[in-house]
Amino acid sequence: MIELSIDASQFKAILGPLRAMPKKMIGCLLRAGKRAGTAMRTDVAKHVRAVSYLKAADIRGAMRPLRIDSEGSGIRAWFNVGSKNLPADRFRLLPNRVTARKGRPSRAWPEPGFRIGPYSPLMHARGGASRGFIANLNGKKLFTRASRKRGSLRREYGWSVQYFASFDRVKESATKRAMDVFEERLLHEVRRALGGLR
């Protein structure tokens, strides 16, 4: 879960003109929180893309809707990031071509690997009855290996989207900008609320 908790007491200077109107104050906080939470959700997706080799569609599919509510003297905006471990061939394959060749014994096939992100080491298939190989199955390039069950194949898997979303550099950068967006938007909302009182 990615969360942004905001204590209204940190923004007394901005909220001061609305202190006698608690409903308007909460309304301003919630609207500003929604804008900040949306910015945070967008930034988390952008930063996950920067630290991984995942496609944008895989990241978008793991981002759950933003939720927001009032909490004591402040508000909380949060969302979950969730996916199963994604197949290795959804990351970056090296070499990025089919390595399984008919007419050649499997021990002569080049052993492929995959990288989950620009800062990760090259990884290879783990366990199973054979080294990993890239095969063309039903028109798709899949990173697979022979299973211990005779005659069957097992697809190799990497990591989930939430693994990358949990990186400190992803969360901290997104949260910092969300706080800046919140303060800017809160000021706008308070001015608009005061303008409606005239």
CB-based contacts of 79, cutoff 8 Å, min separation 6: 1, 2, 37, 41, 63, 64, 65, 66, 67
Residue 104's pLDDT is: 83
Domain map (residue ranges) of the chain: 2-84+160-195, 88-155
pLDDT at 151: 66
CA pair distance 16, 194, nearest whole angstrom: 11
Question: How confident is the chain (198 residues) per 10-residue block, as mean pLDDT?
Answer: 90 89 90 96 96 95 94 88 94 92 82 92 78 87 80 86 95 94 95 78
- For residue 95, say if its preceding peptide bond is cis, omega within 30 degrees of 0: yes
> Given the structure tokens 């199955």, which residue do they identify?
137
State the pTM of this model. Answer: 0.85
Q: How many angstroms separate the CA atoms of 68 and 30, rounded?
A: 7
Q: Please choose, from the candidates 10, 2, 6, 26, the residue with its C-alpha nearest in 3D space to the C-alpha of residue 190.
A: 26
Output the pLDDT for position 127: 66
Give the pLDDT of residue 125: 83
- In order of 20, 72, 75, 190, 196, the CA distances from 16 in angstroms are 9, 18, 17, 9, 16
